[in-house]
Amino acid sequence: MNIQIRKANKQEINWINKKYDEVNFQHSDFNNEIIVLAEVNNKKAGVGRLIKIDKETVELGGIYVFEEFRGTGIASEIVSFLIKNKGEFNSVYCLPFENLRAFYEKHGFKTVSSKAKVPEKITQKHKWCNDTYDKKVLILSLKNKPQ
């Protein structure tokens, strides 16, 4: 299987947000995010993003692999691509469903033990996620430099 990951084009934002509507994810804002698409044989197979929180922090999220492509490693490719292309951001947070903890730990994420240093935008979204979804949502982080 030939998986290609590429940055989304601005013209694709409406299609991306329609895909996010399918799983009740928050919409993307092309001007504040790095959004990527996974393709297999030129067919869209998944989407993911980095949301800019502040000058040092991004949130990795919106990882959504379409039904027919699940179990093929596409989610891992999307996460790896986004981590490699995070640029100068020192902190990457992720708000995964609890059952996905091990998947994100394989990519270097750790459970946040204290919310004291977590940006308010992340804690607010975490609360929204836990109020919105039936599954428990965690806060994980990946840091370049120890704090």
Task: For the chain, list the domains and their CATH numbers.
Answer: 3-143 (3.40.630.30)
> Of 28, 20, 80, which is closest to residue 46 (Cα–Cα)?
20
With 0.85 as the threshold, say if the pTM is over it: yes
pLDDT digits (tens, 9 = 90+) for 33-74: 999 999 999 999 999 999 999 999 999 999 999 999 999 999
Question: Which residues contact residue 123 at a Cβ distance below 8 angstroms, ignoring those fewer than 6 apart?
Answer: 115, 139
pLDDT digits (tens, 9 = 90+) for 75-89: 999 999 999 999 889
